Structure 1
Amino acid sequence: MTTPRLFLQPLRVADAEQMVDVLADPALYRFTGGEPPSIQQLTSRYERQVEGRSSDGREQWLNWIVCDHAAGALGFVQATVTGGGGPASAAELAWLVSPAHQGRGIATEAAGAMLSWLRDAAGVTVFAAHIHPDHAGSEAVARHLGLHPTDTAVDGERRWESDRR
């Protein structure tokens, strides 16, 4: 997938090498908790994610590295799709951009490209994201994607979702 400024590259295990630097800033974990992964942890995570499916086959995992031509990897976008594709399917969305590149609309542009692809190419009709209530940047991305907050909270994060079709 490409946008005017970015290209979204499907995740590969080899991406762990460049992404460990992108994910190294502790500020990224302010709302989600945790800490920067080691190269070994990230490689192991990517080995699972590139399989593309949960072990029971109910979830399809789609992951892309967000890149620009000058700076390389800037972050990632991901979707967990359930419902087998088509009008009955739904996607849980997530996005992350390195703090060095935040505030320039990169997450909105990348997540918007992912959502459009999921809708147009994969037939997904329902979209959701879980966002910490103090994370104004991610809330702004969700609004741009057409998601709205719900009263549902999971692990301290508010569920945002699209209108159901």
Structure 2
Amino acid sequence: MVALQSSATEKAYLRTLFNPTAVPFDTSAPMEVHVTKELSNPHSRAKKQARWQAAMNRKSTLFKKFIAQELRNLNGRSIRDARAEAAFKYRQTLENERRAEKKRRWLTKERVAKMERNSKRKVRKAEKQKEKLNQLVLRDAPNQFIPGKSARRQEA
């Protein structure tokens, strides 16, 4: 495949698509350059490896950042203690990120909608129960305590 300046030719191609009267597009250039990313499998080994490497680089730089931050502010600690504290903070940060990602994946649109329906149903049920209790009328019986009437009976 011929090495092309893909960004320049891609911009020219897009400009031609959306504004046909613009600069003419070179039709002899191979189209594969533009669609390679779109047509390649996102689950391919190479892409998985690239994502993994990017994540490892991010984690490494994050760890270095934590260590540098702790070493800048020793506050009477030894370097070893500062590094240990930085490692602890780093692990806590990764754990918080992992939890947030789990929660983000767990809260799908369907699950959120179901949770809202259930909460509305519980509110309606509680309101019905409250209304039933408010409308409840007890018949007079000897085992009932009605403040106004029972107090008068005891006085008499």
The TM tier, using the shorter chain, reads under 0.3
- The structure with the largest helix share of the pair is 2
TM-score normalised to structure 2 length = 0.23
Larger radius of gyration: 2
- The structure with the largest strand share of the pair is 1
User: Higher relative contact order by CA 8 Å / sep ≥ 6: 1 or 2?
Assistant: 1
